[in-house]
Structure 1
């Protein structure tokens, strides 16, 4: 345990603002001078270094790309042009239900209409939503 604390101080004492990866790398290089009884510690530190590199690559590849921001769909209030064939009556009914205010409500409060589209696969739910 004494050797570990000495190595830890040596690794973190050189640069107080060092990043996690720099201190880990310094600890791994310093651990290479350990006694044979502490080779298990060296293997674990090497594994941690590998995991850290993989995590950095993952972050660069997936989390900081602009592709994730572009994949977010935008919400619009304008009516889309019709590209649906054979569902005109259903489409018109849905649009009139969602766009026309309820005539019976005269309280002056603003109401929002919602519509659940449910059904088995292949029934045209996504087409109707479009």
Structure 2
């Protein structure tokens, strides 16, 4: 299986802008620019998209592990913070809140740690990955 996206850029790095489009059209000529990446601007940026991909992938992997253990998930909510410094992604921090019937804090943390290291996007990223887990 392959997934595709297309970036189109026009102009210089600071004055130019671009669009991002995915085959699914979830992103359809979504605007990005220097301002949306390094300042305040309307649009997205690569790091925000990595955060979305990582939080989504991790949460799906975590749900698989929880289900395999026989627990019932009411909800999982994951925020991902990508740390971008000196022209490099230096970290990804996953903050997950789970509402899972009958699971202990220890078991939940064990499964969070397992998902943190094994989800496909975690395996793709060559950076420090950390997490924190909260049961609600």
Q: TM-score, normalised by structure 1?
A: 0.27
More strand by share: 2
Q: Which one scores higher on RCO, CA 8 angstroms, separation ≥ 6?
A: 2
TM-score, normalised via structure 2 length: 0.26
